[in-house]
């Protein structure tokens, strides 16, 4: 029986079966202010992080891409432009409220022909093996209960020669930056969440979930264990964010 298994929800220890519902509650709460908070939290730098990640995808016209934890669709919109009208982007999220926000945004932007939507769990993807040329997940892996399962599923649905990219908050590489980052994360960010999104607790969880996420080398090792080859790591903003890339050969 697995009923007694536990995992972390931020700094709390919770039953594995409860984590997904708790994460869902966080994103239900912040969905309507998510884009505004991203801009405020990063001073707009998140757009540069995402642009850099797109440069690493190698995605070309006509290819098929799966974007996990799409949220409001920042990566999916960029990917839709890269694959063009002959390609396909599956925009997905486990959270219905976030996926609805993203779908509305994509429709408002006129992206209708090459984007499909799917509410799904990254740990159990409903696609045959070898379905996609690229799989991306941006700022979502740290919320997955069993990260190793999600990475294995990402590898499974890739075609030979395909690649996966994980864009995620990570661990700053310099001690002075770590100290400043901790101060910002635990003092400024929750207050910003209270003032802008009327939700201090959710943004405190987001800060805690970043600290609990594996560091750069650990995540690289997890990707290799899932079957990815030629894995590399690209630190951005001093390691505040990192892009991990791996290939299915």
For residue range 137-148, list pLDDT tens digits in order: 999 999 999 999
Sign of the torsion formed by the C-alpha atoms of 139, 140, 145 and 146: negative
- The pLDDT, as a whole number, for residue 127 is 98
Percent of the chain that is helix, strand, coil (3-state, to 5): 50, 25, 25
pTM score: 0.92
- The pLDDT, as a whole number, for residue 3 is 52
For residue range 23-79, list pLDDT tens digits in order: 888 888 888 888 877 888 898 999 999 999 999 999 999 999 999 999 999 999 999
The long-range contacts involving 83-88, CB below 8 angstroms and separated by at least 24 positions, are 83/59, 83/114, 84/114, 85/113, 85/114, 86/61, 86/62, 86/114, 87/59, 87/61, 87/62, 87/63, 87/114, 88/64, 88/114, 88/115, 88/116
pLDDT-based confidence at residue 1 (cuts at 50, 70, 90): very low
- Alpha-carbon separation of residue 144 from 31, 42, 111, 180 (angstroms): 18, 22, 28, 27
Domains of the chain: 26-172+206-247 (3.40.50.150)
- Report how far apart the first and last C-alpha atoms of the chain are (Å, whole number): 36
* C-alpha span between 149 and 83 (Å, rounded): 27
């Amino acid at each position: 029986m697995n009923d007694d298994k536990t995992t972390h929800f931020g700094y709390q220890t919770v039953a594995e079966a409860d984590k997904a519902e708790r994460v869902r509650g966080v994103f239900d709460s912040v969905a309507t202010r998510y884009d505004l908070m991203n801009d405020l939290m990063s001073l707009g730098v998140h757009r540069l992080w995402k642009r850099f990640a797109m440069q690493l995808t190698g995605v070309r016209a006509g290819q098929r891409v799966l974007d996990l934890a799409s949220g409001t669709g920042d990566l999916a919109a960029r990917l839709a432009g890269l694959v063009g009208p002959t390609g396909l982007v599956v925009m997905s999220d486990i959270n219905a409220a976030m996926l609805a926000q993203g779908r509305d945004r994509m429709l408002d932007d006129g992206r209708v022909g090459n984007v499909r939507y799917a509410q799904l769990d990254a740990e159990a993807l409903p696609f045959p093996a070898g379905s996609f040329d690229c799989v991306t997940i941006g700022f979502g892996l740290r919320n997955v209960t069993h990260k190793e399962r999600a990475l294995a599923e990402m590898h499974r649905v890739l075609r030979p020669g395909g690649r996966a990219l994980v864009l995620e908050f990570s661990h700053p590489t310099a001690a002075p930056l770590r100290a400043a980052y901790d101060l910002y994360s635990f003092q400024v960010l929750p207050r910003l969440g209270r003032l802008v999104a009327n939700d201090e607790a959710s943004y405190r969880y987001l800060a805690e979930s970043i600290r609990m996420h594996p560091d750069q080398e650990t995540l690289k090792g997890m990707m290799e264990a899932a079957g990815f080859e030629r894995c590399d790591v690209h630190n951005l903003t001093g390691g505040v964010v990192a892009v991990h890339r791996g290939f299915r050969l």
